[in-house]
Amino acid sequence: MPKRFLAAVVTLPLLISVTTPASSLPSTKSGPCHLSRRSSESVHHFTRRRISCAVDRFGPVGGGAARAICIAKRESGLDPTARSATGRYLGLYQHAKKLWPDRYKKWTQRSWDLSKRALSGRSNSIVTIRMVHAMGGWKAAGWPIKGC
């Protein structure tokens, strides 16, 4: 085997790993909808992608991803860290702070590596979509669809 060929076989994977941007590398975390935010991507666009992923993975839900995004926009302005003025409601879908721990426990799995915080966009969207799907719709789960 020629030395040049052997050198190319050995160095090419190293060059690729050094020159590939970190944002395009697969995540080492596990679980559903663990997406990486692109360098030029707004929080709102990233949140839309996360919600769409949750709907694709855990739906269907009435109105699909478009309605899920509309409701999150109405509830929080698509801000995963949104809090109500009183602090009683948290996150994308404005879950009641006192209900969040039980909802998290019921609608997630330990192996998914989700944050326990309602202010995590990934956790909030997955818990919400799973609830809505299981309960048979947005209204049944506690979110009116008015305007969406």
Q: What is the pLDDT of residue 147?
A: 95
| 46 inside domain | yes
| 96 inside domain | yes
Task: Decide: 91 and 119 in contact? Cβ < 8 Å.
Answer: yes
The residue assigned the tokens 């602090």 is 87
Q: Could you give the number of structural domains in the chain? A: 1
Apex 115 CA angle, 20 and 49, nearest 5 = 55
| 14 inside domain | no
The C-alpha atoms of residue 45 and residue 62 are separated, in whole angstroms, by 21
The C-alpha atoms of residue 137 and residue 145 are separated, in whole angstroms, by 9
The C-alpha atoms of residue 34 and residue 15 are separated, in whole angstroms, by 27
| 139 inside domain | yes
| 110 inside domain | yes
Q: What is the pLDDT along the chain (148 residues), one digit of tens a residue?
A: 555 444 443 433 433 333 334 433 444 457 999 999 999 999 999 999 999 999 999 999 999 999 999 999 999 999 999 999 999 999 999 999 999 999 999 999 999 999 999 999 999 999 999 999 999 999 999 999 999 9
| 93 inside domain | yes
Closest by CA position to 31, among listed 111, 122, 118: 111
| 87 inside domain | yes
CATH of the domain at 133: 1.10.530.10
Q: Give pTM, 2 decimals.
A: 0.80
Note down the domain range covering 110: 40-148
Six token digits for residue 51:
């919600």
